[in-house]
Structure 1
Amino acid sequence: MTTLFLTVGLPGAGKTMKARQLAKEHSALRLTPDEWMIPLFGEPEADGKRDVLEGRLLWLALQALRLGTNVVLDFGCWSRDERSAIRWLVASVGASCDLAYVPVDHDTQRARVSHRQSTAPDQTFPMSEADLLNWRALFQEPDAAELEGREIGAPPPGWPGWLEWAADRWPSFM
């Protein structure tokens, strides 16, 4: 059975390092939106284009899984709904999903972000202290049931299914 490894965590947590390790260990295709944004759009956070890019990378990931290739999806996935939708989509193509949560404390995160901005400013985007604190407040840490891959809950109220939710969240997915 093929597996999609989904990195989960905040900026500066070490998700991409973990994604590279998983790709090597599992002969997996690694899809990291941060590495596509500047080559495609000329900037790391082109307004609204990240969601479009993530939708196409998610579509590509599902195609690769169908063909028998393991995939590492290096998205971050801050919300439980995003993770649940991806887990459901992966199961719908007969593959398994393994969440790779990379926690980070605030001081370490701040130091890593500062280091990245000073050593590779062309490969990142500005992140203020206020941004880091706001994102930390928005982040929904995965619980034990989610990390163990237990049952996927129902989509949010008003959505008939995870497929429809995902198509709305990532406009280019379908």
Structure 2
Amino acid sequence: MARIHLIIGPVGAGKSTFAQRLYRDHAALRLNLDEWMARLFRPDRPDTGIIEWYHERTARCIEQIWSLTRSSIDVGTNVVLEIGLIRRRDRERLYKRVDAAGYELTVYVLDAPRELRRERVEQRNHEKGETFSMVVPPDMFELASDMWEPPEEPERSGRDMRFIDTTGG
């Protein structure tokens, strides 16, 4: 049976780099929310009200990504999801959908110290390399980092959840 590989963690934890390896290893479709947001909405981004603007578009993208995920899993194709979900309640919504559909799920939790993640994001913003999809300004890095809620025991219980060290050590 095909499997959903969900990657979660704060900005700069190494999720995109890990996702590239994972989708190749599992011959999977890779769906990255940041790529969708950059391609579909970057030209229309307003100067004010960015948070509300972002949340509404993110919700629409995640609905479409879920639709593609279901179609892919139903025809036997593994899916790697890199769609944010830095808050527990957002992950719980996805878990309910996965469970209701009877799909197999592995959750990969990536994290690293904030200073290392900040350095990675600054480097990615500057180099615009293979995992670059959009500039993450310092204030957005801090906001997203503050919002990150690592999985605790109730969320981990009964799930295939793997913690990945991305510190390079």
Normalising TM by the smaller chain, what interval? 0.7 to 0.9
Correspondent of 2:58 among 37, 50, 56: 50
SS in structure 1 at match of 2:119:
helix
Offset of residue 91 of structure 1: 2.1
- What letter matches 1:132 in structure 2? F
| Aligned match of 1:166 | none
8 Å contact kept, 1:3–1:98: yes
Unaligned stretches of 5+ in structure 1?
Answer: 151-174
Would the alpha carbon gap of residues 141 and 148 (structure 1) be closer, same or farther in structure 2, given more than 3 Å must change?
A: same
- TM-aligned CA deviation for residue 147 of structure 1: 3.8
Q: Could you say which residue in structure 1 is the equivalent of 2:120?
A: 112
Give CA deviations for 1:98-144 in whole Å, capped at 9, x if unaligned. Answer: 1111112111111011111111298313321x433332222110124
Question: Measured at CA, do residues 4 and 44 of structure 1 come closer, stay the same or move farther in structure 2, by a change above 3 Å?
Answer: farther
Structure 2's unaligned 5+ residue stretches are: 47-52, 160-169
What's the secondary structure of 2:111's corresponding residue?
Answer: coil
2:166 aligned residue = none
Q: Is the 8 A contact 2:11 2:145 kept in 1?
A: no
**Which residue number in structure 1 is paired with residue 135 of structure 2?**
125
Note closer, same or farther for the CA distance 1:104–1:44 as it changes in structure 2 (3 Å cut): farther
User: Larger strand proportion, structure 1 or 2?
Assistant: 2
Q: Are 1:27 and 2:27 counterparts?
A: yes
The alignment of Structure 1 onto Structure 2 pairs a total of residues equal to 150
Task: Note if 1:15 corresponds to 2:15.
Answer: yes
Q: Is the partner of 1:123 in helix, strand or coil?
A: coil
Q: Deviations over 1:56-75 (max 9, x none)?
A: 11121122112221111101
| Aligned counterpart for 1:142 among listed residues 141, 151, 169 | 151
SS at match of 1:97: strand
User: Once superposed, what is the RMSD of the aligned Cα atoms?
Assistant: 2.5
Q: 1: distance between equivalents of 2:101 and 2:126?
A: 42
Output the TM-score relative to the length of structure 1.
0.75
TM-score in terms of structure 2 length? 0.77
Larger relative CO (CA 8 A, sep 6+): 1 or 2? Answer: 2
Contact 1:16 1:74 in 2 (8 A): yes
Aligned AA for 2:90? E
Answer yes or no: is 1:74 the counterpart of 2:107: no
Inter-partner Cα distance in structure 2 for 1:145 and 1:27:
31
SS of residue in 1 equivalent to 2:83: strand
Maintained 8 Å contact 1:116/1:124: no
> Deviation digits for residues 152-173 of structure 1, max 9, x if unmatched?
xxxxxxxxxxxxxxxxxxxxxx
1:6 offset after TM fit, Å? Answer: 0.7
